[in-house]
Amino acid sequence: MKHEQSYHMTPEEFEKNGQEVIHWIADYYRRIESFPVMSQAAPGDIRAGLPPHAPAKGESFSSILQDVDKIIIPGITHWQSPNFFAYFPANASGAAILGELLSAGLGVQGMIWATSPACTELETQVLDWLVEMLALPEKFRSSGTGAGVIQDTASSASLCAVLAAREKATQFASNLKGGDGRLTAYASSQTHSSVEKAVKIAGIGKENLRLVPVDRNFAMRPEELAKLIQEDRRKGKIPFFVCATVGTTSSNAMDPLDKIGAIARQENIWLHVDAAMSGTAALCPEFRHIHKGLEFADSYCFNPHKWMFTNFDCDCFYIGDRKILIQTLSILPEYLKNKATESGAVIDYRDWQVPLGRRFRALKLWFVIRHYGIEGLQYHVRQHVQLAQEFAEWVKGEPDFELMAPVPLNLVCFRHKAGAKFNENLLDHLNRSGKIYLTHTKLNDIYTLRMSIAQTNTQRRHVEQAWELIRKTARELKEKIKD
Ligand code: PLP
């Protein structure tokens, strides 16, 4: 039999190359501490190493992999390094990586139940498990009025929440164009920028987003929220959406959900709770106080891709009344009609998100939960929190440094007392050393360093070394100033 010409990898070649890649990744994790955590590449460096034109003829897999080492690695900031303490984490794990690989291997596009029932049903089940694992309100279970869905990011979850809230407030008359400029949304001055973006995309208008002042711990002040709502009502506006945050990006502040929730309920305003990183802490009963008042929430999200050892991207978004979300985002063109959908017995997640297509993300989440078990996940979360609490104590005990915010979980905001310029310089030296990577924020307009402890393989010695390095570098910089 004559074979047709093919440029594809055969299963045998795939197996061989695949083993090489798995070996490469395992070796990468063994070597990861030898790389500078923050890429030291200058703008344009990586492109300069790449050929100006795509190859006309296919190349060998080993030469591609060699170029990963030569060209790509110098341009990588090593998010999975145990010495990565920047931003909020995007942690990964062996189980998640293999789940991701399997998802790529199956190549499923799970837009509707019929395009791969397992993609939908595993997602529903795993999101129900998480309701139990995090002790979330029962209404978020699929057996109730609500349910969960995996979004790519918390930004998408916020957008879906704003859209659903808008439609609810306008009785699904989107032709009101976001309420004719009358709808108003509320978030604290510390809320993640993705909420402002969502408000813009939803046509509400940035000018209709009220930034509620915060207290000395950077948490939303409920009495200020109530005041702003009343002011808007007097002006003929329609308050429709409030976002409360469990663990703000700058300082990990916890908005008081119970008080905000009571106001939202009384005013008939949609409450969305963004727990992007910190939600994972609720795996441990002793940290579940962060969710006090969550029963008031109409929607909620947290990112396993931040702190639950699940590769980016994976955000779990829950809604208390799924009908509203579905009615908001549902469209049914002829080419997607099918018997399962018509039967009403299945979930079609395409109606629960902005894009049509969707990846099989539940697979990696399932792998992670099964690999670690609840116990394993709790162990590592507790370890991170413990290390951050200890780091905070070290800062408190060092006369030249000070804490800049409470440390409820695993983020420490601190600074050297020598002022903004000194701290900027300190951060720059630390990051250029390649030994650790930290980022900064401003709290009350004061330049502040952030130590975010949540990398999969971060252990006590990494945190101790980081603190040693921070103190040593600060001492050296001070000496230099004196000279
Ligand atoms: N919300 C909070 C509190 C965050 O800290 C972040 C990112 O750090 C986001 C939302 C946005 O996350 P994503 O990248 O998943 O959209």
For residue 299, give both structure tokens.
């929607």
Identify whether the C-beta of residue 192 lies closer than 8 Å to the C-beta of residue 248. Answer: yes
Closest protein CA for atom 12 of ligand 1: 154
How far apart are the CA of 192 and the centre of ligand 1, in A?
6
What is the predicted pLDDT for the residue at 179? 61
What is the predicted pLDDT for the residue at 177? 55
What is the predicted pLDDT for the residue at 3? 72
Look up tokens 């006369």; give the residue.
399
In sequence order, the β-bridge partners of residue 274 are 245, 301
For residue 287, give both structure tokens.
């940290």
pTM: 0.96
103 contact partners, CB below 8 Å, separation of at least 6: 359, 360, 361, 363, 364
pLDDT along the chain (483 residues), means of 10: 85 97 97 97 97 96 96 97 97 97 97 96 98 97 96 97 95 67 96 96 95 98 98 96 98 98 98 98 98 98 98 98 95 89 92 96 98 98 98 97 98 97 98 97 97 97 98 95 79
> Which residues sit with their C-beta closer than 6 Å to ligand 1?
88, 153-155, 192, 194, 245, 248-249, 274, 276-277, 303, 315
How far apart are the CA of 421 and the centre of ligand 1, in A?
28
Identify whether the C-beta of residue 158 lies closer than 8 Å to the C-beta of residue 195. Answer: yes
Q: Phi and psi at residue 183, in whole multiples of 5°?
A: -70, 135
In 15-68, DSSP assigns E strands to none
How far apart are the CA of 219 and the centre of ligand 1, in A?
17
Please state, in angstroms and as integers, the Cα–Cα distance from residue 317 to each residue in 128, 198, 302, following that order: 11, 15, 7
Most distant pair of Cα atoms in the chain: their distance? 83
What is the predicted pLDDT for the residue at 4? 87
Identify whether the C-beta of residue 280 lies closer than 8 Å to the C-beta of residue 381. Answer: yes
Give one DSSP letter per residue of 256-283, joined into a string. -HHHHHHHHHHHT-EEEEE-TTGGGGGG
How far apart are the CA of 349 and the centre of ligand 1, in A?
22
What distance in Å separates the CA atoms of residue 63 and residue 49, rounded to the nearest whole number?
Answer: 14
What distance in Å separates the CA atoms of residue 171 and residue 306, rounded to the nearest whole number?
Answer: 35
Strand 183-188 to 238-245 pairing: parallel
Q: Among 190, 249, 354, which residue has the most ligand 1 atoms within 8 Å of its CB, making it the best to mutate?
A: 249
Strand 270-274 to 299-302 pairing: parallel
Closest ligand 1 atom to 315 CA: 15
SS3 of residue 242 by DSSP: strand
Q: Among 220, 303, 354, 361, which residue has the most ligand 1 atoms within 8 Å of its CB, making it the best to mutate?
A: 303
Positive or negative CA dihedral for 286, 287, 288, 292? positive
Q: For 57-100, what is each residue's pLDDT tens digit? A: 999 999 999 999 999 999 999 999 999 999 999 999 999 999 99
Q: For 378-403, what is each residue's pLDDT tens digit? A: 999 999 999 999 999 999 999 999 99
How far apart are the CA of 163 and the centre of ligand 1, in A?
18
What distance in Å separates the CA atoms of residue 288 and residue 135, rounded to the nearest whole number?
Answer: 8
How far apart are the CA of 302 and the centre of ligand 1, in A?
9
93 contact partners, CB below 8 Å, separation of at least 6: 309, 310, 311, 368, 371, 372, 456
Helix axes 460-482, 420-433, angle to 10 degrees: 130
Give the chain's domains with CATH numbers.
Answer: 108-359 (3.40.640.10), 367-482 (3.90.1150.10)
Q: Rg of the chain over CA atoms, in angstroms?
A: 24
State the DSSP H helix or E strand holding residue 183, giving kind and residue range, or none if neither: strand 183-188
Closest ligand 1 atom to 155 CA: 16
**CA angle at residue 309 from 122 to 116, to 5 degrees?**
20
In 351-469, DSSP assigns E strands to 401-403, 411-416, 439-443, 446-452
